[in-house]
């Protein structure tokens, strides 16, 4: 009897499977045209992406790398006007490169160098404009960009805005850099006579980094900053 029930159950399972397969076949037959069109669209999209990456973006990336290398050379020589606007030879400058190669990694890096060059020339609005365009996962470039934007705002007299960027730049795994920007934020708060906030910056430096960076000037002098801010807070 049990064996009969088992065979009966097995038969029902097979019947269910056959029904499911039949339904699937019917669905495919009914929608075959739509499915083929969908598959074709996916294949075209994948092919288009591969063509774009290999035959458009890759050559432009190579060209952009060559241009940025020249710009970096002039930047190292502190020839900031040439970095921005080019020389009298065949280097057109990094300003036009930012737009022309915006989809490339080097185009993104060019925006950073343009921003740095404008900052060096005292053109703080332009510095902020171009540095705001930079998007990077490189930690060193990221905190350098954020810190320079902060410096530019401070130079413009927008100190509180500058502090925002100093604090963003301080969120790095590099302890020396973190201390440097926390100290900048503290000094900026002092310039606003917000000594209680300056004190918090200095105390956080001492609490978090004093044991990590012996011999580093901002750490060695931190008690002086704390004492000064504390006396002015009272």
**Mean pLDDT over each residue of the chain, to the nearest integer:** 84
Contact 116, 98 (CB under 8 A): no
Q: Is the pLDDT of residue 52 over 70?
A: no
Task: Read off the pLDDT band of 224 (50, 70, 90).
Answer: very high
CA dihedral sign of residues 144, 148, 151, 153: negative
DSSP secondary structure letter of residue 88? S
Residue 137, phi then psi, degrees to nearest 5: -100, -5
pLDDT of 151 reads: 98
Flag whether pLDDT at 220 surpasses 70: yes
Q: How confident is the model over 123-138, as pLDDT tens digits?
A: 999 999 999 999 999 9
106 Cβ partners below 8 Å, 6+ apart? Answer: 61, 64, 65, 67, 68, 97
The dihedrals phi and psi of 89, each to the nearest 5 degrees, come to -100, -120
Return d(Cα 96, Cα 5) in angstroms, integer.
81
DSSP symbol at 90: S
Give pLDDT, residue 211: 86
Burial of 138 (0-12, 13-18, 19+ CB in 10 A): middle
In tens, the pLDDT along 100-110 reads 877 678 888 99
Closest CA to 110 of 101, 119, 118: 101
Task: Give yes or no for residue 25 having a pLDDT over 70.
Answer: no
Residue with tokens 């020339």: 121
DSSP of 48-85: HHHHIIIIIIHHHHHHHHHHHHHHHHHHHTT-HHHHHH
pLDDT band of 20, cuts 50, 70, 90: low
Q: Say whether pLDDT at 50 is over 80.
A: no
CB-CB neighbours of 203 under 10 Å:
16
User: What is the per-residue pLDDT for 41?
Assistant: 72
Mean pLDDT value across residues 176-193 = 96
- What tens digit of pLDDT does each residue of 56-92 get? 555 666 777 788 899 999 999 999 999 999 987 889 8
Q: Give pLDDT, residue 62.
A: 74
Helix intervals (H) in 123-194: 124-131, 139-155, 159-169, 175-191
Please count the helices (runs of H) and the strands (runs of E) in the chain. 12, 0
* Per-residue pLDDT reduced to its tens digit, 31-40: 666 656 666 6
> Residue 32, SS3?
helix
- Mean pLDDT in residue range 194-221: 92
Q: CA triplet 111, 112, 113: central angle to 5 degrees?
A: 95
């Amino acid at each position: 009897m049990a064996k009969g029930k088992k065979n009966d159950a097995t038969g029902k399972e097979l019947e269910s499977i056959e029904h499911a397969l039949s339904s699937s076949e019917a669905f495919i037959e009914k929608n075959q045209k739509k499915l083929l069109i969908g598959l074709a669209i996916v294949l075209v999209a994948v092919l288009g992406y591969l063509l774009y990456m290999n035959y458009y973006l890759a050559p432009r990336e190579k060209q952009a790398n060559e241009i940025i290398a020249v710009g970096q050379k002039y930047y190292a020589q502190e020839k900031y006007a040439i970095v921005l606007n080019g020389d009298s030879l065949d280097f057109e400058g990094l300003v036009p490169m930012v737009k022309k190669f915006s989809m490339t990694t080097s185009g993104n890096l060019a925006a950073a160098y343009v921003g740095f060059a404008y900052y060096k020339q005292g053109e703080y609005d332009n510095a902020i404009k171009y540095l705001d365009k930079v998007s990077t996962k490189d930690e060193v470039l990221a905190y350098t960009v954020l810190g320079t934007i902060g410096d530019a705002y401070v130079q413009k007299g927008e100190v509180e805005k500058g502090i925002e960027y100093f604090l963003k730049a301080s969120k790095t795994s590099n302890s020396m850099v973190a201390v440097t920007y926390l100290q900048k934020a503290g000094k900026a708060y002092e310039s606003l006579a917000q000594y209680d906030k300056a004190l918090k910056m200095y105390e956080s430096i001492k609490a978090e980094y004093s044991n990590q960076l012996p011999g580093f000037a901002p750490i060695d002098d931190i008690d002086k900053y704390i004492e000064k801010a504390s006396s002015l807070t009272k």
